[in-house]
């Protein structure tokens, strides 16, 4: 063996053993993660952790709105509304109510619980963080306390009493979690209310700059008001109710707590610069901008967005504009808008039948796109024209009917939604988000006048109730309510339906008032509009024939509450299913 040979071999051996002797050769760390012990020391990272908790809060602008499972809208394409509207919901098929798809609503059972865990992990670790000022720490504590209460409210309002979990689990103690039982509805309400009080004490009344959108004291009070209003309602206070979904002892006095909580929101809000949005004297413009002018004086809490959370405009605009005509108002909803003089609209009134969209509560024009409404530079064309072709009279639909482009995106009701939509939106078939940056509003001031009106009415204080109700009617430039007794109640219920349309109130209102078995247990219908050769226009509604039928809807007693998902009941047999499933 020659010298070269030796060198080569030596080099080879040295080269190998040299690297091999490095002790930490296998001691790699993930380059994209920060270890837990370091993470919680840093206040900036703790702050970022709370940001993520915000990013998991529910929102309603998925392809299927919650309004499409109640008597507000109908969804043009199948996105899981039918199990609810046709009452075939089962523990293994909750449709869009257990996490609506195509646009994340963050309301899936697992997603909500995961965020509750995020909150619990925060509480367990935040004392390790070194803060340069305690204000930030208190604020973060208040924010997370509020969000955990909000997530609990989201579960409790849909499913009733939940297991109350205030610590995080790991592999060692997860078996304890698997044995938990549901706490009662009362225990859940008490927990949420107490957490709201705790949060309210820690949070500021408002923010500025890049903190706008964080939870405030008013938001915590608002959540408390809504919880107590629900808790006082008939569904939760009927005799013989399962304590998981109501109070063992019905008590009308709960309305007092609801009234106080609503009053607290109104008082605290108005004392701190919040007010009913009234920027434009024109009702339609004002009511339109209320939902587009972000964080205006009326907004108490919303999920902030900037163009990636949803594609609201693309999903819901009429097909004639290249949009998808998704959630479409049904005739029963349109009919409920009063005449501008405060009387009810009536199809049996020949003048009203001839021009059904004239002289209505102006909020109709800001809530629903009806045939002929101006929209993006032309009137909406939901009608059919009689035309003569080759000597015979045939019907040719307008641009926004099934004869327009992409007929599968045509509204089957003859209406499209207007509320929330941004008229400046340009069709964007790439991301579909385009200019759709609307925030999802959880709480706005108007609700609390109506919460207050409802609670005071139920306490027998009609004067107070009317005063609060008329705040809202006045802003809508509608005649003030003067009724009393059940007629007043009808006005209050009506006002919630109109003012808070599509904002995810109707689902809960029809349930807690126990009216779902009538109003949600009947067909949803639409309108057929024909422009005759003689120049007249015919509006066909409520024909009782297939021509105007949109969906035959059903509601069963059990549907007042959602079933607990089957897979979850299978994981823990002690987790009691809701009645009727």
Decide if residue 31 touches other proteins (CB under 8 A): yes
The footprint of other proteins on residues 5-24 (CB under 8 A) is 5, 8-9, 12-13, 15-16, 19-20
Give the count of residues interacting with other proteins (CB under 8 A). 105
Buried b / exposed e over 181-196, threshold 16 CB at 10 Å, is ebbbbbebbebbbebb
Binds other proteins (CB under 8 A): choice among 204, 213, 243, 250: 213
Tracing tokens 């024939």 back to the chain, one arrives at 545
The footprint of other proteins on residues 395-424 (CB under 8 A) is 402, 405-406, 408, 412
The footprint of other proteins on residues 130-169 (CB under 8 A) is 162-163, 165, 168-169
Q: By the 8 A CB rule, do 416 and 316 touch?
A: yes
Q: How crowded is the C-beta side of 345, counted as CA atoms within 13 Å?
A: 23
Decide if residue 479 touches other proteins (CB under 8 A): no
Task: At 109, give phi and psi (nearest 5°).
Answer: -45, -50
Decide if residue 572 touches other proteins (CB under 8 A): yes
Q: Which of 328, 393, 353, 367 is nearest to 79 (CA)?
A: 328
Q: Is 31 helix (H, G, I), strand (E, B) or coil?
A: coil
The footprint of other proteins on residues 37-56 (CB under 8 A) is 39, 45, 48-49, 51-52, 54-56
Residues forming a β-bridge with 539: 529
Binds other proteins (CB under 8 A): choice among 72, 82, 195, 495: 82
In angstroms and rounded to an integer, the radius of gyration of the C-alpha atoms of the chain is 28
Distance from C-alpha of 397 to C-alpha of 395, rounded to nearest angstrom: 6
Q: Is 211 helix (H, G, I), strand (E, B) or coil?
A: helix
The footprint of other proteins on residues 351-390 (CB under 8 A) is none
Spatial CB neighbours of 95, under 8 Å, sequence gap ≥ 6: 69, 80, 81, 82, 83, 84, 89
Smallest separation, CB 577 to other proteins (Å): 11
Binds other proteins (CB under 8 A): choice among 148, 214, 263, 475: 214
Q: Is 381 left (phi over 0), alpha (psi -120 to 50) or beta?
A: beta
Decide if residue 393 touches other proteins (CB under 8 A): no
Give the interface segment with other proteins, choosing from 62-70, 128-136, 375-383, 566-574 (CB under 8 A). Answer: 566-574
Decide if residue 568 touches other proteins (CB under 8 A): yes
The footprint of other proteins on residues 280-319 (CB under 8 A) is 293-295, 304-306, 309
Distance from C-alpha of 146 to C-alpha of 203, rounded to nearest angstrom: 9
Which CB, 472 or 550, lies closer to other proteins?
A: 550
The footprint of other proteins on residues 426-445 (CB under 8 A) is 426-431, 434, 437
DSSP category for residue 4? H
The footprint of other proteins on residues 516-555 (CB under 8 A) is 545-547, 549-552
Distance from C-alpha of 196 to C-alpha of 189, rounded to nearest angstrom: 11
Binds other proteins (CB under 8 A): choice among 104, 136, 177, 537: 177
Give the interface segment with other proteins, choosing from 64-72, 117-125, 187-195, 271-279 (CB under 8 A). Answer: 117-125
Read off the tokens for 294.
């972000």
Give the interface segment with other proteins, choosing from 356-364, 484-492, 496-504, 564-572 (CB under 8 A). Answer: 564-572
Binds other proteins (CB under 8 A): choice among 181, 282, 571, 580: 571
Which CB, 337 or 442, lies closer to other proteins?
A: 442
């Amino acid at each position: 063996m020659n010298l070269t040979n030796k060198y080569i071999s030596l080099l080879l051996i040295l080269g190998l053993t040299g690297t091999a002797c490095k002790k930490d050769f296998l001691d790699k760390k993930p380059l994209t993660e920060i270890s837990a012990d370091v993470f919680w020391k840093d206040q900036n990272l703790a702050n970022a952790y709370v940001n993520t908790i915000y990013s998991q809060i529910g929102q309603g602008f998925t392809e299927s709105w919650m309004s499409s499972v109640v008597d507000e809208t109908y969804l043009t394409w199948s996105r899981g509304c039918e199990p609810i509207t046709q009452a075939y919901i089962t523990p293994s098929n909750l449709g869009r109510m257990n996490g609506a798809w195509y646009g994340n609503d963050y309301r899936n059972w697992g997603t909500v619980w995961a965020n509750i865990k995020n909150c619990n992990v925060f509480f367990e670790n935040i004392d390790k963080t070194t803060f340069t000022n305690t204000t930030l720490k208190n604020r973060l504590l208040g924010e997370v306390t509020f969000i955990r209460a909000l997530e609990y409210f989201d579960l409790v309002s849909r499913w009733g009493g939940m297991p109350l979990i205030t610590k995080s689990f790991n592999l060692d103690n997860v078996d304890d979690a698997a044995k938990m039982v549901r706490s009662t509805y009362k225990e859940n309400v008490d927990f949420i209310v107490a957490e709201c009080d705790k949060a309210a004490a820690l949070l500021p009344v408002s923010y500025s700059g890049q903190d706008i959108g964080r939870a405030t004291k008013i938001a915590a009070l608002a959540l408390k008001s809504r919880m107590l209003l629900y808790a006082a309602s008939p569904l939760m206070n009927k005799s013989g109710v399962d304590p998981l979904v109501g109070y063992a002892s019905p008590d009308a006095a709960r309305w007092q707590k609801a009234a106080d909580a609503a009053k607290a929101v109104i008082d605290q809000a108005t004392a701190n610069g919040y007010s009913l949005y009234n920027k434009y004297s024109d009702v339609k413009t004002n009511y339109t901008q209320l939902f587009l002018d972000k964080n205006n004086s009326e907004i108490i809490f919303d999920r902030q967005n900037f163009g990636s959370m949803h594609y609201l405009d693309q999903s819901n605009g009429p097909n004639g504009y290249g949009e998808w005509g998704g959630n479409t108002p049904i005739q029963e909803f349109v009919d409920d808008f009063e005449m501008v003089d405060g009387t009810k609209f009536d199809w049996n009134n020949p003048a009203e039948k001839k021009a059904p969209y004239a002289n209505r509560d102006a909020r109709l024009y800001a809530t629903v796109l009806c045939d002929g409404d101006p929209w993006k530079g032309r009137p909406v064309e939901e009608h059919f024209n009689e035309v003569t072709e080759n000597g015979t009279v045939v019907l040719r639909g307008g641009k926004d009917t099934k004869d327009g482009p992409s007929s599968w995106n045509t509204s089957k009701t003859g209406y499209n939604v207007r509320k929330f939509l941004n008229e400046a939106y340009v069709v964007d078939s790439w991301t579909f988000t385009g200019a759709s940056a609307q925030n999802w509003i959880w709480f706005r001031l108007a609700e609390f006048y109506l919460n207050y009106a409802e609670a005071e009415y139920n306490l027998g204080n009609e004067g107070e109730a009317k005063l609060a109700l008329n705040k809202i009617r006045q802003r809508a430039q509608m005649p003030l309510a003067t009724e009393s007794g059940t007629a007043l109640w009808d006005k209050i219920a009506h006002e919630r339906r109109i003012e808070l349309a599509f904002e995810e109130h109707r689902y809960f209102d029809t349930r807690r008032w126990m009216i779902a078995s009538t109003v949600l247990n009947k067909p949803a219908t639409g309108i057929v509009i024909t422009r005759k050769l003689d120049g007249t226009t015919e509006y066909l509604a409520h024909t009782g024939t297939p021509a105007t039928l949109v969906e035959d809807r059903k509601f069963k007693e059990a549907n007042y509450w959602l079933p607990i998902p089957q897979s979850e009941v299978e994981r823990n047999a002690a987790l009691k299913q809701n009645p009727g499933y």
